[in-house]
Amino acid sequence: MSRQLKWVFCMIMVMMVVISYPSNMGAAEANQNKESSISVPYTVKPGDTLFAISKKYYLTGQFEQVAKANGLDPKAGLKAGAVIKLNNPLVLDYYAVQQGDTVYAITNRYFNRTKYMDALMTYNGITSPDTGLKIGMALRIPLPSGEGKHTVLKGDTLYNLSVRYFKAQDYQQAIVQANGMDAASSKIQAGDDLQIPNPYYRTKFESKAAGIVPAKLSIEIDITKNKLYVKSGGTVKKSFNIASGKKAGLTPTGSFEIMTKIENPWYSAKGIPGGDPKNPLGSRWLGLSVPNTQGTKYGIHGTNAPSSIGTNASAGCIRMLNEDVEWLFDMIPNGTEVTIHK
């Protein structure tokens, strides 16, 4: 082979490596993200909804992620006894304290060396405890203080790694902190309902405790004054004029939550698509958790009749100017508490 042909051949090989490199990296990253998922099985109880499960285990009303992970219709009901998976929930479980329980004993119930080894395998996509480790392998180490890294050395075993990285007191502290308990005494009483946190998300609990995340907002609606107030604690941060039910009793009163959020909602009663100037729901919909409605019947929404704002004009929903409801839509997450009163 001539020198020129050798040079051409080498260049072709280099180009093939360069072209294949990004796709290989992308596949590695995708596998890494997939492998870091830890799923918790949950058995559906009578009366459970996706919204309620999401609130309980993710501390948010974003139930669509639970539905998607399980191939479910987010608007459909759940069958009692069915088992669904909760991917990386913020809360692993809730535990009713029994007489004689201690935080240490509860810690060992949920977090012990055997379960840590299982978590270590799942976190890294390892299927065999005997042959899963390879020298030089980059392990992701799940820890309460945040993810760690470990390069597998000759002689490493899952058990030895669990001895090195698993510290029971760290997991005990995660339970104490998630439940707002006194770290010094860790006193619990029979009947207490303890939140068992996913310790690998502990930083989220720390951020809430330290006040790093924005203060929780709530909504108060006065249908007599046709006013909507956005509050932080007991302080009104912003107020809006609204329209409420045109007859007494049409707008439900009580305590609810924002259950669904939809941009450019369709007006299904007359088949008017979202974004149509004739659509009476305007540009945004924030559905309320009124019992047996799944957030689809009563909501806070925009309007195509701005002159109705400040009056009693709706069929039961809360109307706002489109620019006002768009601000609310962007600022208020699912799960936000809404109180409606006269």
Q: Which residues contact 285 (CB under 8 A, 6 or more apart)?
A: 260, 261, 262, 265, 299, 300, 301
Q: Please identify which of the residues 10, 150, 301, 341 carries the catalytic annotation.
A: 301
C-alpha distances out from residue 222 to 36, 68, 338, Å: 47, 36, 11
Instruction: In whole angstroms, give the CA distance from residue 278 to residue 299.
Output: 18
Report residue 215 as tokens: 């203060």
Whether 317 sits among the annotated catalytic residues: the reply is yes
Residues 259 and 279: beta-carbon distance below 8 Å: no
Instruction: In whole angstroms, give the CA distance from residue 269 to residue 246.
Output: 19
Classify residue 201 by its DSSP letter. Answer: G
Please name which of 256, 238, 239, 249 lies closest in space to residue 299, comparing C-alpha atoms: 256
Report residue 36 as tokens: 């870091």
Q: Please identify which of the residues 10, 150, 317, 341 carries the catalytic annotation.
A: 317
Report residue 305 as tokens: 């009749």
Strand partners, 338: 219, 256
Whether 341 sits among the annotated catalytic residues: the reply is no
- Catalytic residues, by residue number, are 301, 317
